[in-house]
Amino acid sequence: MRKAQWMRASTALVSVAAAAMALGCSPPQQAPAAAINDKFYTVTPDAMTVNAGILTGQLTEMKVMERVEEGSGRIDAPARLSGKLVLKNVSKDQSVRLVGGKVTYIDAQGQPIALEDNRTEPLLKFASSYGSSDRLDPGQDATQTLEVEFPVEALKQKKLTDIRLGLVYVPAPYKEGTLDFPVSIGGQ
């Protein structure tokens, strides 16, 4: 009888220990992560062309996007402006070397809208890569994707009135010349 009691007690103890290990040692069930959704803001007009000296600039496909956590509304990734920038040299006699640029957001009073302290200044770089050039000869154009930080303050209705793109470029005279080398072929 005593042996049977010990057997039941040890079976119960092993069962309790196994249950404790299964419940206590397994990782807690985590709630499913909230979905992160892209929230788009339209820019009106979404395309425009402007002239600035010997360059024309066309900015198209403009939109602002931020990533927002579904349910809580928490901002996962702050707003960014994206679009396609096409610059064209309209000069007849000057080449242009593109150096860089800066995007400034202007409010209704004509003042710049500042980015938040922890955000990167919206700069453009025209670094030449294989197959492309930062130089535009007369009549040539260059296309670049625009992807820059956008101030939260500018998302408020009627706050943003202008997007200003300041360009840094170096103009150089463009001339064509001909070199004639007088030659003769031996034996003639």
Q: Tens digit of pLDDT per residue, the chain (188 long)?
A: 666 665 665 665 556 556 666 565 556 666 667 788 999 998 999 888 988 889 999 999 999 999 999 888 888 999 999 999 999 999 999 999 988 899 999 999 999 999 998 898 998 887 665 556 788 999 999 998 999 999 999 998 788 999 999 999 999 887 778 888 888 888 76
pTM of the model: 0.71
* Cβ contacts of 63 within 8 Å, gap of 6 or more: 40, 41, 42, 43, 46, 81, 82, 83
Question: Strand 94-107 and strand 75-89: pairing?
Answer: unpaired
Second CATH level (architecture) for the domain 36-173: Sandwich (2.60)
* 85: exposed, middle or buried (Cβ count in 10 Å: 0-12, 13-18, 19+): buried
Report whether 160 contacts 84 (CB < 8 A). Answer: no
How is the chain split into domains, by residue range? 36-173
Report whether 172 contacts 94 (CB < 8 A). Answer: yes
